[in-house]
């Protein structure tokens, strides 16, 4: 079973007041008390004092108070659950999710069950394999001189990714918020003129890139049929998950924006090979927008078998380690699942 689900952008998962509390598990201090006092939604559920401090159609970020201690939970709405009931049912079947059916204030985001139990994009890091890409230039270089005010190359690359994804899918509108979240990595002495007037990702693209930028990205887009931004994919057969940049009917595509490193490095091609196996695709592509290059490769059956065998070996090891010390019912699940 291969499927996918909506997941918040990674920077949203780790920034903001609630996520800071979630990661640090603070005591009930003055700052937390103020957040709770401002909270309109308070619930007593199974004798638990719960405060929903942030919520939308999908998520309910909730704080539980016990004396002077707090616990943070990333609960979900019933609508979210119903959208992915088949995934929750499968997780329950594999004993990764222990609530049968939806229960408010007991059911958390899918990724909290998946990330802890499935293997991610670094799964193939130690795999001994070599591939040779076919390199093709599809447009001229992109001028990124105006992005020098973003001090960290990694964040500069992520911002370029967001701009490209927005051009491909106008609903993928996260670039403005992301740049605003990078305040600690901004060189405020070298901000481009009129940056403060930008209100959205479209404004940023028009200000920070050359006029031909959009046309160059459209040349890339038009090389593929049905190209779209992707969500989080799960492969239950191999117990793996991942968040590829782009997907088409035939291709998995990863955007690589490193200015100084080799685009088709082993680390990069192992990651895109992993995504191909994850989503059951035979064609992979690394896209270097700065230089306008595509690196293409079609997986052979031998390579697919080699990678799946490698993942399966590690899947069994991880699954066993996760459950071997639990009760006999779970041990029987392992026996039935592996053999």
Boundaries of every domain in the chain: 2-78, 118-143+226-339, 144-209
Distance (Å, whole) CA 286 – CA 256: 7
Helices (H), the chain: 10-14, 17-24, 30-37, 78-83, 85-93, 110-117, 153-168, 175-181, 201-208, 213-221, 266-279, 301-323, 328-338
Distance (Å, whole) CA 105 – CA 78: 10
Distance (Å, whole) CA 326 – CA 157: 43
Residues 256/270, Cβ–Cβ less than 8 Å? no
**Residue range 215-272, pLDDT digits in tens:** 999 999 999 989 999 999 999 999 999 999 999 999 999 999 876 679 999 999 999 9
Q: 319 by DSSP, 3-state: which?
A: helix
Neighbours of 112 (CB within 10 A): 15
**Residue range 130-189, pLDDT digits in tens:** 999 999 999 999 999 999 999 999 999 999 999 999 999 999 999 999 999 998 889 999
Grade residue 21 by pLDDT with cuts at 50, 70 and 90.
confident
pTM (whole model) above 0.85 = yes
The rounded mean pLDDT for the chain is: 90
Could you give the C-alpha distances from 291 to 126, 157, 221, 261, 270, in angstroms and in order? 29, 13, 15, 12, 21
| Backbone φ/ψ region at 68: left (φ over 0), alpha (ψ -120 to 50), beta | alpha
Q: 220 by DSSP, 3-state: which?
A: helix
**Residue range 77-133, pLDDT digits in tens:** 999 999 999 999 999 999 999 998 999 999 999 999 999 999 999 999 999 999 999
Pairing status of strand 59-66 against strand 48-55:
antiparallel
pLDDT tops 50 at residue 331: no
User: Nearest Cα to 184, choosing from 212, 149, 210, 159?
Assistant: 149
């Amino acid at each position: 079973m291969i499927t996918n689900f909506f997941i918040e952008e990674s920077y949203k998962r780790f920034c903001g007041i609630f996520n800071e509390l979630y990661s640090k598990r603070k005591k009930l201090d003055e700052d937390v008390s103020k957040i709770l006092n401002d909270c309109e939604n308070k619930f007593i559920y199974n004798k638990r004092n719960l405060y929903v401090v942030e919520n939308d159609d999908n998520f309910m970020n909730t704080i539980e108070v016990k004396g002077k201690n707090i616990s943070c939970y990333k609960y979900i709405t019933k609508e979210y659950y119903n959208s992915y009931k088949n995934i929750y049912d499968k997780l329950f079947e594999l004993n990764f999710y222990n609530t049968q059916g939806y229960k408010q204030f007991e059911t958390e985001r899918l990724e909290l069950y998946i990330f802890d139990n499935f293997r991610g994009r670094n799964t193939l890091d130690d795999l001994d394999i070599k591939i040779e890409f076919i390199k093709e230039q599809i447009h001229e270089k992109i001028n990124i001189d105006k992005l020098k005010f973003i001090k960290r190359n990694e964040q500069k690359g992520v911002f370029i990714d967001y701009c490209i994804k927005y051009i491909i899918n106008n609903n993928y509108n996260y670039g403005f918020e992301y740049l605003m979240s990078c305040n600690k990595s901004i060189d405020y002495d070298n901000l481009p003129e009129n940056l403060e007037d930008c209100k959205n990702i479209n404004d940023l693209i028009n200000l920070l890139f050359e006029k031909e930028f959009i046309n160059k990205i459209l040349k890339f887009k038009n090389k593929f049929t049905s190209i779209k931004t992707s969500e989080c994919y799960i492969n239950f057969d191999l117990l793996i998950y991942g968040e590829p940049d782009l997907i088409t009917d035939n291709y998995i595509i990863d955007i690589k924006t490193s200015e100084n490193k080799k685009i088709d490095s082993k680390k990069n091609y192992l990651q895109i090979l992993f995504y191909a196996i994850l989503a059951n695709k035979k064609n992979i592509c690394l896209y270097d927008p700065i230089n306008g290059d595509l690196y293409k490769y079609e997986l052979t059956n031998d390579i697919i078998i080699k990678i799946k065998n490698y993942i399966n070996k590690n899947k069994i090891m991880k699954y066993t380690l996760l459950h071997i010390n639990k009760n006999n019912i779970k041990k029987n699940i392992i026996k039935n699942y592996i053999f």
